[in-house]
Chain A
Amino acid sequence: MDNRLKVLRAERDWSQAELALRLDVSRQAVNAIETGKHDPSLPLAFRIARLFGMPIEEIFDDGHA
């Protein structure tokens, strides 16, 4: 699943570790989501959306929009 996590994080000048701290996950989890190796669960996707103040579909794209 494509996503804008890396771009949104870079806009805020956060490192992967800083984003992981804000989401209460490991840095490896953030890296895996950014590189498309892990699709987040719905609860984590909602946490990400709330953190960036955006709807989920503006951050994640399953290619069927």
Chain B
Amino acid sequence: MMVTHEDRSRGPEGGGMTFGKALGGLALVLGAIFAAGVALGLAVVAVTDGPTGLMLATIVATLAACGVCLWGLFLLKPWPAGDEPVAPSQRRARTMLVLSGILGGVLGIILSLGMFGDGGIDFAFSNAPLAPAAAAGILAGWLLFVPVLSWIWWRNIDEHEAQAYTYGAVVALHLYYFVTPAWWIGWRGGFLPEPQHMLVFILATIAWLGGWAWRRYR
């Protein structure tokens, strides 16, 4: 008996990862990293320049936000069940993803620490100067480790994931293709602020991850 379009099941059996869980988990991880980075950066400023009441309150608030994100992750459980058999190649691919996540977290925290210059808080992806040591650390992680992890990951993913990733890349490319010149023209026309390359990069990355998660977990 062929399984036809009419009687196909809609989701994975036995629960498992879904698109919503994947996206929610990603948002919570990024939120926890960002909150931890802000709290750590403020703590460094508090130690060097002396704490203020507002600073201490912000540290407590960001630590609380980090805790809420981690608690949300614990409740959501956006990871596979422990007793589920996994092919060795898939296990290696997952390990690379986890290592990439940890590396991303470390880079994010370094970047967040670099936000705090002269007692002020700049947006993490602004064009404000970074401490040379922080910039060198981020560059080393981005140019040395990320390409290696990506190559190993590509060598181990299956065709379904490769297709999902490619789909996400096409979505991101189209977003970049339309947003970048539109913003530039708008700026030259005087009705938009100066284009921010890193903001476009972040938008493209979010589109890429969203497209990938949509195709893989929907």
Contacts of B80 in A (CB 8 A): 27
- Is B52 among interface residues, defined by CB-CB distance under 8 A? no
With A15-B13, A35-B9 given, is the CB distance from A25 to B2 under 8 Å?
Answer: no
Query: What does the 1/0 interface line of A20-41 toward B look like (CB < 8 Å)?
Result: 1101111111011111111011
Interfacial residues of chain B within 61-75, with CB under 8 A of chain A in the complex: none
In this complex, how many residues of chain A approach chain B with their Cβ under 8 Å: the count is 31
The prevalent SS among residues of B at the interface is loop
- Is B163 among interface residues, defined by CB-CB distance under 8 A? yes
- Is A51 among interface residues, defined by CB-CB distance under 8 A? no
**Taking the nearest CB of chain B, how far is it from the CB of A6, in angstroms?**
5
Contact A38 B2 (CB under 8 A): no
- Is B48 among interface residues, defined by CB-CB distance under 8 A? no
- Is A44 among interface residues, defined by CB-CB distance under 8 A? yes
* Residues in chain B within 8 A of chain A (CB atoms): 1-5, 8-14, 16-17, 80, 84-90, 93, 157-161, 163, 216-218
List 30 contacting pairs A-B, 8 Å CB cutoff, sorted by A.
Answer: A2-B4, A6-B9, A7-B3, A16-B13, A17-B14, A17-B84, A17-B85, A20-B86, A20-B90, A21-B86, A21-B87, A23-B87, A24-B90, A24-B158, A26-B157, A27-B16, A27-B80, A27-B86, A28-B12, A28-B16, A28-B17, A29-B159, A29-B161, A35-B9, A35-B10, A35-B11, A37-B218, A40-B159, A44-B159, A61-B2
